[in-house]
């Protein structure tokens, strides 16, 4: 019973963390209620931002008392804000639990979001929702396949959309280079049209025995698409261990045409990818979790199979003892901003820094931001006014709120 009196206090604490000063370029906003509200993706509109993530549909019987049965109502959440970060509308979708991983804003102002929804038989299915600029539901679609699937990223294509996701369904027979046992993850590519109807009979599934997970998809340099992710397969067993970076080149109809596995250190995790005129820039985290995480910036040339252009370490342990990367975005002219987290537990803060096209840190372009509780930035974008806009979460004890941070270096 004591917890019901803590909830309003929690909101006050989170709302007071790191409030921007008068005339500051920094805007900090929180959305949601309590428990597990998390922002995973942000996109810009003509007059604001759209955030996607997870929202808990909390039911209150009075301002200080909530229905305990509602704390598990975790839904795909989509929030529209103004340029000042003030909420314009908030919507939630799907049976519990559900989640929004990536959001797109289309030319007409409508919004498309992918993620997953849990079905009545307790499996996960890819979930895509489309709403208009005012938050009105236009359509939503669940894609039921064998096993568990989840949508991770989505991009616009001439025929509609291409969803990047994961699947843990069995693919038989399991050999050294093909197939997979049930429960092990593969990379999934799902083609859908503008009405969210599936194109073709089956999605493309790519992976090796073990776990292969796609984290981002972008239009490729010369047509088609490029996928980056993480695999526990190693092509050079004496030089790579645990997890490595995987790149898939995908043609216009979602078929994989080239695959590259690359590793510089033990246990690497691709965070995101940016496509340049001559290759790909990938922020890579080394280490799964804990106090020993670090990272480097990997540059892969456009032909994929040439040697990496560079693989620069970012910070030394004396400067930042532990950090991880979550997202990358273009910044100004031929530069990039990377977002993530530094520190662990209650000491975790949002981390931002900018690099040039050669992977070098830009002087004065680093920011560590946080207040009460633990913070992490899961996605980042920039605009023509050199603002950096990031979303993530602020956690306090067992609760979290969606965070939007807008600032200039």
Q: What is the pLDDT of residues 236-263, one digit of tens each?
A: 554 567 899 999 999 999 999 999 999 8
| pLDDT tens string 141-198 | 999 999 999 999 999 999 999 999 999 999 988 887 788 999 999 999 999 999 999 9
Average pLDDT for 65-75: 76
Whole-angstrom distance, CA of residue 264 vs CA of residue 298: 9
Whole-angstrom distance, CA of residue 76 vs CA of residue 298: 32
Domain of residue 105: give its range.
33-316
| pLDDT tens string 156-169 | 999 999 999 999 99
| Three-class DSSP category at 397 | coil
Higher pLDDT, 404 or 174: 404
8 Å CB contact between 337 and 328: yes
pLDDT at 193: 98
Residue 368 inside a domain? The answer is: no
| pLDDT tens string 312-364 | 888 988 889 899 999 999 999 899 999 999 998 888 999 999 999 999 999 99
Lowest mean pLDDT among 70-84, 274-288, 308-322: 308-322
Report the CATH number at residue 242: 2.130.10
* Residue 357 zone, left/alpha/beta (φ > 0; ψ -120 to 50; rest): alpha
Residue 6 inside a domain? The answer is: no
Residue 178 inside a domain? The answer is: yes
Residue 18 inside a domain? The answer is: no
pLDDT at 19: 45
Please name which of 193, 192, 148, 190 lies closest in space to residue 169, comparing C-alpha atoms.
148
pLDDT band for position 408 (cuts 50, 70, 90) = very high
Whole-angstrom distance, CA of residue 393 vs CA of residue 198: 33
pLDDT at 7: 45
Distance of CA 254 to the CA centre of its chain: 21
Distances from the Cα of 74 to the Cα of 42, 169, 177, 201, angstroms: 19, 24, 38, 31
Residue 136 inside a domain? The answer is: yes
Look-up of token digits 């040039």: 356
Q: Is the pLDDT score of 5 beyond 90?
A: no
Pairing relation of β-strands 294-301 and 279-286?
Answer: antiparallel
Q: In what order do the strands lie in the sheet with 225-231?
A: 212-219, 225-231, 244-250, 256-262
8 Å CB contact between 147 and 123: yes
| pLDDT tens string 86-117 | 999 999 999 878 999 999 999 999 999 999 99
Q: Is the pLDDT score of 16 beyond 60?
A: no
Whole-angstrom distance, CA of residue 298 vs CA of residue 372: 33
pLDDT at 239: 53
Residue 185 inside a domain? The answer is: yes
Lowest mean pLDDT among 230-239, 273-282, 330-339: 230-239
Q: To the nearest whole percent, how much of the chain has pLDDT over 70?
A: 92
**Token digits of residue 403:** 């965070």
Domain tally, the chain: 1
Average pLDDT, rounded, for the chain? 89
Helix (H) or strand (E) holding 215: strand 212-219
Whole-angstrom distance, CA of residue 191 vs CA of residue 103: 16
What's the pTM value of the predicted model, to 2 decimals? 0.91
pLDDT band for position 23 (cuts 50, 70, 90) = very low
Contacts 24+ apart (CB under 8 A), 206-211: 206/248, 206/256, 206/259, 207/171, 207/180, 207/231, 208/177, 208/178, 208/180, 208/233, 209/174, 209/175, 209/176, 209/179, 209/180, 209/181, 209/184, 209/233, 210/180, 210/184, 211/184, 211/185
Residue 73 inside a domain? The answer is: yes
Average pLDDT for 214-233: 96
Whole-angstrom distance, CA of residue 280 vs CA of residue 220: 9
What is residue 198's DSSP assignment? B
Higher pLDDT, 373 or 323: 323
Average pLDDT for 26-39: 91
pLDDT band for position 306 (cuts 50, 70, 90) = confident
pLDDT at 4: 40
8 Å CB contact between 111 and 76: no
pLDDT at 311: 86
Whole-angstrom distance, CA of residue 331 vs CA of residue 237: 37
Residue 116 inside a domain? The answer is: yes
Whole-angstrom distance, CA of residue 22 vs CA of residue 18: 13
Q: Is the pLDDT score of 279 beyond 80?
A: yes
């Amino acid at each position: 019973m004591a917890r019901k009196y803590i909830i309003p206090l929690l909101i006050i604490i989170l709302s007071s963390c790191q409030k921007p000063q008068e005339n500051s370029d920094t805007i900090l906003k929180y959305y949601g209620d309590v428990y597990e509200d998390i922002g995973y993706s942000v996109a810009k509109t003509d007059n604001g931002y759209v955030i996607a993530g997870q929202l808990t549909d909390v039911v209150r019987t009075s301002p200080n008392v909530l229905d305990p049965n509602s704390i598990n109502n975790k839904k795909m959440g989509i929030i529209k804000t103004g340029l000042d970060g003030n909420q314009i509308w908030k919507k939630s979708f799907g049976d519990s639990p559900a989640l929004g991983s990536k959001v797109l804003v289309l030319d007409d102002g409508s919004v498309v979001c992918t993620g997953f929804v849990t079905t009545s038989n307790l499996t996960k299915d890819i979930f895509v929702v489309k709403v208009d600029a005012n938050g009105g539901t236009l359509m939503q679609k669940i894609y039921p396949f064998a096993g568990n699937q989840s949508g991770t990223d989505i991009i616009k294509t001439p025929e509609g959309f291409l969803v990047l996701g994961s699947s843990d369904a069995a693919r038989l027979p399991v050999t050294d280079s093909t197939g997979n046992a049930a429960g092990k993850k593969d990379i999934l590519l799902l083609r859908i049209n503008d009405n969210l109807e599936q194109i073709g009979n089956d999605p493309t599934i790519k992976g090796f025995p073990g776990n292969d997970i796609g984290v981002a998809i972008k239009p490729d340099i010369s047509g088609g698409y490029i996928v980056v992710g993480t695999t526990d397969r190693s092509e050079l067993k004496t030089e790579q261990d645990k997890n490595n970076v995987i790149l898939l080149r995908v043609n216009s109809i979602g078929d994989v045409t080239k695959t590259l596995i690359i590793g510089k250190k033990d246990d690497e995790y691709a965070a995101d990818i940016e496509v340049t005129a001559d290759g790909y820039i990938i922020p890579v985290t080394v280490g799964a979790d804990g106090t020993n995480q670090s990272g480097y910036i990997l540059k892969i040339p456009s032909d994929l199979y040439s040697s990496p252009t560079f693989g620069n370490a970012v910070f030394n342990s004396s400067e930042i003892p532990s950090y991880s990367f979550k997202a990358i975005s273009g910044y100004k002219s031929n530069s990039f901003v990377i977002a993530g987290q530094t520190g662990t537990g209650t000491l975790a803060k949002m981390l931002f820094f900018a690099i040039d096209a050669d992977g070098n840190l830009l002087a004065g372009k680093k920011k560590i931001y946080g207040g009460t509780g633990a913070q992490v930035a899961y996605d980042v974008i920039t605009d023509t006014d050199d603002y950096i806009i990031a979303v993530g979460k602020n956690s306090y004890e067992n609760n979290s709120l969606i965070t939007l941070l807008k600032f200039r270096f």
